[in-house]
Every structure is written in C-alpha cells, then in structure tokens.
Chains A and B, each alone.
Chain A
Amino acid sequence: MTDTPDNDQATARVTWHSEEQKSRLKSRYRKEKIFKFFAMSSLAAAIAALVVVLGSIIMTGSSGFTETRIEMDIFLDKTILGDLPTNDRQEFEKQVAGANINRILVSSLQKEFPEVTKRSDVFALLRLFSVGAQTDIRDVILNDPSVIGETVPVDLLASSNVDMLIKGNISRDIPETDRKISDQQIAWVDQLNNAGKVTQGFNWSFFVSGDSREPELAGIWSATIGSFLTLLVTFLIAFPIGVGSAIYLEEFAPKNRLTDLIEININNLAAVPSIIFGLLGLAIFINYINLPRSAPLVGGLTLALMTLPTIIITSRAALKAVPPSIKEAAIGLGASHMQTVFHHVLPLSMPGILTGSIIGMAQALGETAPLIMIGMVAFIVDTPGSIMEASTALPVQVYLWADSPERGFLEKTSAAIMVLLAFLIIMNGLAIWLRQKFEKKW
C-alpha cells in the first residue's frame, strides 16, 4: 500500500454532491434501467414466442376435431340394392359392400334437388359429400336391414371443401376460379344450411382411422400405433442398455483408457444431430442387415441409439445421488459390491432413472428426421400389426400432412400436433410426478 497517499488525494478531490457526479450517477442508473429492461424483454420475447407457437396451433387446430355432416333423406331403393340375403349375415355384408351405393346417393340427391338435371351439375352436387358418405349409408343398412326399401334420414359426411366453407376457412369473397368450391355449390350448401340440415359434431373418426387422401377421412390412429410400437422398441432396447452402462460407468468402471473413451463417446453421441442417426439406421439396419424398410423395429433401433446417451447421463446422475453411507452400510453387512448395487443403490435411484428415461422417450416421440431417413414417410393407411410391418409415426404424419396442399389438411395437421403435444405433456407430467413423489432428499 505504498500508493495510498495518491489515492487519498484522488478520492479526496471527488465531491460526490457535485453536478458532475450527480449526472454520472444518473447515467449509471439509466444504464441499469435500460439493461434490466432489455433482459426482461428478452425473457418476455421468449415466452411470447411460446404463446405464438401454441396459440397458432390451437387456433388452426381446434376446428380439426369437428366434422360437418349433412342430413339427407336417402331412399334405399330395392331395385338398386338388389335382393339382399338378410338371413345370412356374412353374405349380406359382402353384398352390401359391393352394392352401388353411389347410385342410391345420386337418386336421393336428385329427389332433393329436382332442378338439377345436367350431368356435370349432378357431379358437382355429389362432390358436396365425402367418399365417406357411402360408408355412412352402408352402416345404416348394416345396422338395420329392415330399412331397405324405405326412405331414411342419414347424416352424411360432408366433403372437406364444404367443411372448410362452413368453418369459414374458405372465404366467399375470393373469385370463384380461385376457390375449390363453386358459387353453385355454395348456394346448395346455404340452402341445406338454412333448412337446418347441416350439423357439426365431434370428429371421432379422426382418432380411430388411418391416413387418407381425403382430409375429412384422415385420422391419426395408425400413426399413433406406429409411434407406440416404435417407442416400445426404443424403450426395450435403450432402457436396459442405458441403465446397464450407467451402472458400469458409475460403480464398476476402473479408471483407464477404455472408460475415458466410453465417456467421450457418450458425450459426443449426445450432441450428434438426429439426422446422422437416421443415416446410420439406413446404412446399417436397412442396407446391411436387411431389416424391412419403414418398420417400427428399425425406427425403434435408430431412436434407441439416439436416446441412449440421454438415458445414460441421467441414470448416472441418479445413481450418483445415492449417498455413500447406504453403500457402506450394505457392504459392512457383508453384501458384495454387485449385491449392494442391485439390492440398494439401483432401487433407490430408480425414480430418477425413470424420470430421465421418460424424458428421453418424450424426445424420441417428437423426433422426425431419423424416421424419414429410414423410410417411415410412406403413405400408409393400415394400422401396423407388428414391429416388422411398414408404418408411420405421429410426427412424420404431421410432416406429411403439413406438406399437403389441401386446405383441409391444415387443421388436421394442427390437430395432430395438439395430440402429439398432449402425449408429450402427459409423459413429461408423469416424469415430474415421479420425481416429486419418489425422489428422496438425503
């Protein structure tokens, strides 16, 4: 402290109440305010982004859960249906499936709109209804064969364009050539609507049917099953291997080169882009081992390799959190190291391990790029029955629909995203619940 005299002189010269110092202080406080404002608005911007993302999904997607139906009086003409063998159920179903329902629909429509005679107009009228409308009529016949020959009111599924018009997603103001529904069709829809025949209801088929080229018929069931099978494979592979290597690295690994190499590799794999895992899956599982393309098995294997680092890292943290006193007590009572780990440390760290694994699974559920690489992007209507059958997955379904130019798929995409997000929230909620319920503070 040889220079204190100088310093003393320097400080002594400062008059804190001078105008100069006051304005300096003012500017410092101003800076403080500005910085704090910027920091706060950054956080607000991040949260606003979240609101925009979720808000636009909900806004476009909530209407995807409703469908539009038009009630029509359908005359189940015996001359068109032919003689149906009502006593032999199997033969009956076969004949109904082959019956010309389209003609029934057309003739009933002509009865409702007698002024429509031109062939092209009849087709335009028919296009108000979805191809699924024929299934609706078939279901009525199958449910109660006695209605054959009578006229019954049936709620027919409207086509996607009518659906969009009713929901206001197709504007009436744009010129006729730019919209997918003609002025004439709009007039018919309005006529039906004024007669109270157009109704909107909950779209159950969205949850129970598979993909379709028609937006009003497309559903997420097969994609959900595909995702489930994929995740099942992922879990069955990644969980035992992940927990096993976490136990080895945390409890048994000697400090040597091999252990270091393993740790470096795990950390690197955690940061490898997911699409690279897709390339790996394509090159190894499909081209080399010749596993079936687009199968949940391959998707699950690929995602398992991808989630492995997450599970290992979180499991290690959970194992590390078990206090040494527990291990020492077990060893003191004569348990071997292996028994200590499997009888005491592992059960105690299980909540943490499960939490980490569920979070890893949630990541895998939302992953799209690797699945595209291994060919799970095909147009697949059928629900996969096993892990070897071609299938698609929820996020890939979102991607496929988002790519589709049809206006009707837009709300379906958002609706599918809402379902996907719901699954993710459930999984993460489960993880949080597990952590809070079972986690011990030592």
Chain B
Amino acid sequence: MSAYLLFIILILILTCFYYVAKNRSLLLVDGDIKKLHSLPTHYGWSAGVNSFIPGFIILSIWAISKDSLINKLMISQLGTEAASLPAFELNALLNNISNYVATGAGDENLAVYAEYYRTVSEKIAWSFFLASIGVSCISGYYTLYKMSPAVNSRNHLETIIKVLLLAFSVIAIITTIGIVFSLLFESIRFFDQISITEFVFGTKWSPQTAIRADQVGSSGAFGAVPLFMGTMLITVIAMLIAGPIGLLSAIYMAEFANKRIRKIAKPLLEILAGIPTVVYGFIAALVVAPFIRDTGALFGLEIASESALAAGIVMGVMIIPLISSLSDDVISVVPQSLREGSLGLGATQTETILKVILPSALPGVVGALLLATSRAIGETMIVVMAAGMAANLTINPLEAVTTVTVQIVALLTGDQEFASAKTLSAFALGLALFFTTLALNAIALIIVKKYREQYD
C-alpha cells in the first residue's frame, strides 16, 4: 500500500482515460474530425488529466498527513496518561511502537498498541487508497460523460498547463520564503537563549556550551564581531587583488587586445571561473599558504600558516573572472561613437578609457564590484580549507582569522544536538550572511539602474 503503487495506478488510470476519450471523441462525430472543436488528443489528455489531478491531490494529502494522523489516533488510544507525558517521551513512545511494528522486537507491553497501530495505519492507507482511485475514476468518467464535439477541451487543457507553469515559477518565491523562514525560525530560537546585543556586539566567540555544569572552559560565548571582522578582512584582501586585476584585464580585452588575444584569453578566464571552489581551497592550503609563510620567514616575519592573506589572495583569484566578465559587458556597451569622438579630438587611448569610457561605464563597474564582494563574503570552501578556526579579532592579514561561513560549517558538521545554542547559532550567522549578500545585490542593482547612462 505504498504511495508509489498508488501513483502508478493513477498513471494507469490516466492512460486508460486518455485512450478511451480520444477514441470516443472520434466516435461522437463518426470520424469526421472537422466537426470537433479540439483535436482528439486534446480530448484524451483532458479526460486523463482530469482523472489524475483529484486522485493525485488525495495522494499528496495522504503522504503528508499520514504520520501525524496515525500519531493523533495513537495518542487518543493510549489514553489520558500518555497525553500528559512530556512531548519528548511521548515521541519516544510512539517511535518505539512503530519500531515494534516494523521489526517485531521490543517491549512486549507495546504489543497491544502495535496491533492497534497496524490496524489503524492499514485502515487509513486503504481508505485513502480507495478514495484516491474512486475520485480519480469519477472525475475521469464525468469528463467522458460531458464530452461533446462542442466542448473546448483544448482551452481547458491549456489552462491546466498554464497553471502548472505558473506553479513552477512560484517555486522561486517559495524557495526564498523557505530560506527566510527556516533561517528566521532557528535564529529566533537562538535569540531566546542568547541576546541579540551579545551576538551583534560581543567580541568573544567560543561556541562550545557546557554539557555539564562544572565543565571548565566551555562557557559558550556568541559574540559574532570577530567573525564579521574576519570575513571583512579576507573580503577586502580578495577585492584588493581581484578589483584592479579583473577590471584592468577587462579593459585590456575590450580596448587594447586584438581579436586573437581575446579569443585565447576569454576562454582561459572562463576556465578560471569554472574551477570548483574546493579546488581553490586546496590550492590555498597546499601552495599559497606555505609559500607566504616561507616568504615571510625569509624576512623574519612570523606568518600563521592559516593566514588571512593566503585565503584572501586565492579568493581574489577566484573572483577575477567574475569582475572581468561583468566589467567587460558594461565596457562593451559604451557606444562606439564616444570612443571615436574622444580619439578624434586627439586623446590617447588611455585618456579615452580613463576619462570617457570608465566614467560612462562606472555604474556597471561599481555594480560588478559589489556583486563580487557579495560573492566573496558568501564563499565557503576556500576559507574552510585555508582560514583558521580560532576567532581572533584582528586586522592583521598575517594572522589567522575565521569567517562567518567557516563557523557555519564547523558548527553543523559532525554529531550535533539540534536544539543547542551552538547549532542554532549557525542559523543566526546564516541569516546575517543572507541579508548582507541580499543588501549588497540590491544596492548593486539599484546603482546600475539609477545611474546607468542611456545612449540611444
């Protein structure tokens, strides 16, 4: 009695109605297709889909509400004693019963309830099963019954498809809502335990909460300032590398380079953009960090092997292609007439670029830089692999810092107790990250829209 079986049966019913309706539509007009409003396949699909949708709705209700429905019935069966149990114990009891049903092993006292569980779940499954098939058949049959050459089943079918396409588009909204709410709910639970002011202004981050009261050194401090500072530091280093290099390469490719160089360089930059971030992280940890440490040692500098500099440089390399391709787009949109006008007045190419083209493309360039910044802030793998874990509040790029994303990963990997402040803090960090990147993207969009020069 699984949902899959029911689904397959519904598909079979759909197929049956499709063929019956298709043939019946032709029979209605004695094979003279011209007298039909729609094509026979439209009549077929229309009946098939009409039979499938109500059955499928019941199937989904069953799949979603099955567990809670059975649990509710079980609780009423267990009596008032069980209902007064704390939620945690009640859940454990229900789990034990369902395990008993599944494996046949467990506490013998549960046997009575397991029997009840089995009959109830069987009854529920059967009723939904029959209801689904019944409704499906009735609905399909009704469409068949109402069918006549004048019924515009094509329009009916197209409306259904249009609604389906709309539903697909709405998934984007649902995803956003899902992100916001899942982050928000867990964050609210976190802020029940830790005050917002401590999170936003606190300068000490050590998320290990004590399991026993007498434990040493695990007080649990959730001041996120060091994380934000660490993220900022690495992002600034990355932007200092990627900003000039990305922009200048875009300028070179758009203004100076001949066709051949462009044809070679562009795909190469695309390869750079296509390299997975985990590879960059590996390079940062394997090549760049030791190189920086050794170079520092040559000059007598003590550089942490997980320095912010290493992560920042590699992150900079990662976002070079993003900046260069976005700037390339805005630079090539600048109309040719501006270039020619400037060159015609005797300006050198450099003067044209710096005094005419860049000012005109500035909003787009600023937008590109902001998008790149938002990408750097949200980047995870490079910093997870190359930046440190200790939350140092410093702006020295030679020291190890940690970032928001590193902490999210660290807090949520391994065994975890979901309701603890430690795990919940990851969602609070995620919320902060989400809104920061959202704000940066929105600002970028507004700048591009508001200050864009219109040449037409």
- What is the interface of chain A, defined by CB distance below 8 A to chain B? 28-29, 31-32, 35-36, 38-40, 42-43, 45-47, 49-50, 52-53, 56-57, 60, 240-242, 244-245, 247-249, 252-253, 261-262, 265-269, 271-277, 279-280, 282-284, 287-288, 305, 308-309, 312, 336-338, 362, 365-369, 372-373, 375, 377, 395-396, 398-399, 402-403, 410, 413-414, 417, 420-421, 424, 428
> Which residues of A have CB within 8 Å of B283?
52-53, 56-57
> Which residues of A have CB within 8 Å of B353?
35
Considering the complex, which residues of chain B in the window 325-368 have a beta carbon less than 8 Å from any beta carbon of chain A?
348-351, 353-354
Question: Measured between alpha carbons, how far is A31 from B354 in the docked complex, in Å?
Answer: 11
Contact of A279 among B183, B350, B375, B379 (CB under 8 A): B183
Closest chain B residue to A261, Cβ basis: B173
Contact of B434 among A42, A276, A373 (CB under 8 A): A276
The answer on a CB contact under 8 Å between A46 and B272 is yes
Contact of B249 among A42, A279, A377, A402 (CB under 8 A): A42
**B12 within 8 Å of A by Cβ?**
no
> Which residues of B have CB within 8 Å of A56?
283, 286-287
The answer on a CB contact under 8 Å between B350 and A273 is no
Contact of A399 among B169, B278, B320, B418 (CB under 8 A): B278
A178 to chain B, nearest CB (A): 16
Question: Measured between alpha carbons, how far is A249 from B252 in the docked complex, in Å?
Answer: 37
The answer on a CB contact under 8 Å between A49 and B405 is no
Beyond A53-B283, A366-B276, A368-B277, whether A42 also contacts B245 by CB under 8 A is yes
The answer on a CB contact under 8 Å between A398 and B279 is yes
Report 17 cross-chain contacts, Cβ distance below 8 Å, ordered by A residue: A31-B350, A32-B349, A43-B252, A46-B245, A245-B165, A245-B169, A262-B173, A265-B172, A276-B437, A280-B178, A336-B154, A366-B278, A368-B380, A368-B381, A402-B285, A421-B275, A424-B276
> Which residues of B have CB within 8 Å of A413?
282
Beyond A42-B249, A50-B271, A284-B182, whether A336 also contacts B158 by CB under 8 A is yes
> Which residues of A have CB within 8 Å of B49?
none
> Which residues of B have CB within 8 Å of A417?
278-279, 282
Beyond A43-B253, A273-B379, A273-B433, whether A369 also contacts B282 by CB under 8 A is no
The answer on a CB contact under 8 Å between B437 and A273 is yes
**B104 within 8 Å of A by Cβ?**
no
> Which residues of B have CB within 8 Å of A240?
168
Contact of B380 among A40, A272, A273 (CB under 8 A): A273
> Which residues of A have CB within 8 Å of B371?
271
Question: Measured between alpha carbons, how far is A46 from B319 in the docked complex, in Å?
Answer: 10
> Which residues of B have CB within 8 Å of A428?
274
Q: Determine the main DSSP class of B at the interface with A.
A: helix
B205 to chain A, nearest CB (A): 18
Which stretch from B27-35, B214-222, B295-303, B406-414 is at the chain A interface?
B406-414
Question: Measured between alpha carbons, how far is A347 from B422 in the docked complex, in Å?
Answer: 51
Contact of B281 among A262, A305, A399, A420 (CB under 8 A): A399
Question: Measured between alpha carbons, how far is A275 from B249 in the docked complex, in Å?
Answer: 29
> Which residues of A have CB within 8 Å of B172?
245, 262, 265-266, 269, 308-309, 312
**B451 within 8 Å of A by Cβ?**
no
Contact of A369 among B245, B287, B380 (CB under 8 A): B380
- Most chain A C-beta atoms within 10 Å of own C-beta, residue among B246, B276, B350: B276
Beyond A56-B286, A308-B175, whether A402 also contacts B385 by CB under 8 A is yes
B276 to chain A, nearest CB (A): 3
The answer on a CB contact under 8 Å between B166 and A274 is no
> Which residues of A have CB within 8 Å of B285?
402
Contact of A283 among B165, B186, B244, B282 (CB under 8 A): B186
**B426 within 8 Å of A by Cβ?**
yes
Closest chain A residue to B159, Cβ basis: A338
The answer on a CB contact under 8 Å between A402 and B168 is no
Beyond A244-B168, A373-B409, A402-B385, whether A272 also contacts B437 by CB under 8 A is yes
Counting chain B residues whose Cβ lies within 8 A of the other chain, the interface size class is: 35 or more
What 1/0 mask marks residues of chain B from 209 to 232 whose CB sits below 8 Å from any chain A CB? 000000000000000000000000
Closest chain A residue to B270, Cβ basis: A428
The answer on a CB contact under 8 Å between A395 and B278 is yes
Closest chain B residue to A342, Cβ basis: B161
The answer on a CB contact under 8 Å between A279 and B426 is yes
Question: Measured between alpha carbons, how far is A39 from B244 in the docked complex, in Å?
Answer: 9
The answer on a CB contact under 8 Å between A245 and B168 is yes
The answer on a CB contact under 8 Å between B276 and A249 is no
> Which residues of B have CB within 8 Å of A276?
179, 183, 378, 430, 433-434, 437
> Which residues of A have CB within 8 Å of B247?
42
The answer on a CB contact under 8 Å between A421 and B279 is yes
Question: Measured between alpha carbons, how far is A145 from B379 in the docked complex, in Å?
Answer: 56
The answer on a CB contact under 8 Å between A43 and B169 is no
> Which residues of B have CB within 8 Å of A308?
171-172, 175
A366 to chain B, nearest CB (A): 3
Question: Measured between alpha carbons, how far is A428 from B183 in the docked complex, in Å?
Answer: 34
Question: Measured between alpha carbons, how far is A60 from B169 in the docked complex, in Å?
Answer: 46
Contact of B179 among A253, A280, A362, A368 (CB under 8 A): A280
**B151 within 8 Å of A by Cβ?**
no
Question: Measured between alpha carbons, how far is A31 from B349 in the docked complex, in Å?
Answer: 10
A299 to chain B, nearest CB (A): 15
**B280 within 8 Å of A by Cβ?**
yes
The answer on a CB contact under 8 Å between A373 and B265 is no
Closest chain B residue to A359, Cβ basis: B274
Question: Measured between alpha carbons, how far is A308 from B171 in the docked complex, in Å?
Answer: 9
> Which residues of A have CB within 8 Å of B249?
39, 42-43, 46
Closest chain B residue to A309, Cβ basis: B172
A282 to chain B, nearest CB (A): 7
Can you list the 8 inter-chain pairs with the closest CB atoms, starting with the nearest? A273-B378, A366-B276, A42-B248, A283-B182, A244-B168, A39-B252, A248-B165, A245-B169
The answer on a CB contact under 8 Å between A247 and B381 is no
Question: Measured between alpha carbons, how far is A42 from B434 in the docked complex, in Å?
Answer: 32
- Most chain B C-beta atoms within 10 Å of own C-beta, residue among A60, A362, A365, A368: A368
The answer on a CB contact under 8 Å between B282 and A372 is no
The answer on a CB contact under 8 Å between A272 and B405 is no
